[in-house]
Amino acid sequence: MDREWVAVIPVKRLSAAKSRLRGAVPAARHADLALAMVRDTVSAVLAGSAVAELVVVTDDTQAAAAVTALGARVVPDVPGADLNGAMRFGADEVAGLGRFRAVLAGDLPALRPGQLDEALGAALGRSFVADAAGTGTVLLAVPPGEPLDPRFGIGSASAHATSGATPLTGDWPGLRQDVDTPDDLARVLTLGAGRHTCALLRDLGLTVSCVPAA
């Protein structure tokens, strides 16, 4: 029987999001870039076949409206603590321990739906996908009955492996390429950005490859 996943994406308030990315675009468009990347990530997740429901945990009203329009379910960040607290809340409390759950970074503008489907298909137990640098984490997946136990933060790939999660090693460049710095954004330009990020960057005069519409 096919497994139906609930995906969870935490989104900070846009005014405070992606501080290490500041300077990649004009300051007045920084929040627009953060939102465009969230919209592309959400669009890719919902375009795949593995995810039955997407929960976005956020207190940002603009982000909430944007992802609701795309088909996501929005819940407030009740813990109001940190990234791991928001992920645990969305996965273990909102989605519930009885379902297959996966938490993702919200800054994956080059994500292709098929890459996420393949990664989730390979997740036979508590599993994670490391970022392109190999030190961070872009995806953590758990089966029914098992707590999420997220360890996101500096060195999270090692932390997740040490906690017993299995690394997934597929070739999924769009899934692995999160965007924390201007250099990360430059790599997205070569992979192909989703339509929202692509439109914003082109509006700013940057040359960028775009992901074909799903």
Question: Residue 6: which region, alpha, beta or left (left: phi > 0; alpha: psi -120 to 50)?
Answer: beta
Burial of 20 from C-beta contacts in 10 A (0-12 / 13-18 / 19+): exposed
Give the list of residues 6+ apart from residue 42 with CB closer than 8 angstroms, or none.
Answer: 9, 54, 56, 67, 70, 71, 72, 106
153 is in an annotated binding site: yes
Do residues 8 and 87 touch, judged by C-beta distance below 8 A?
yes
Q: Which residues line the annotated binding site for phosphoenolpyruvate?
A: 137, 153, 156
Annotated binding site: 137, 153, 156
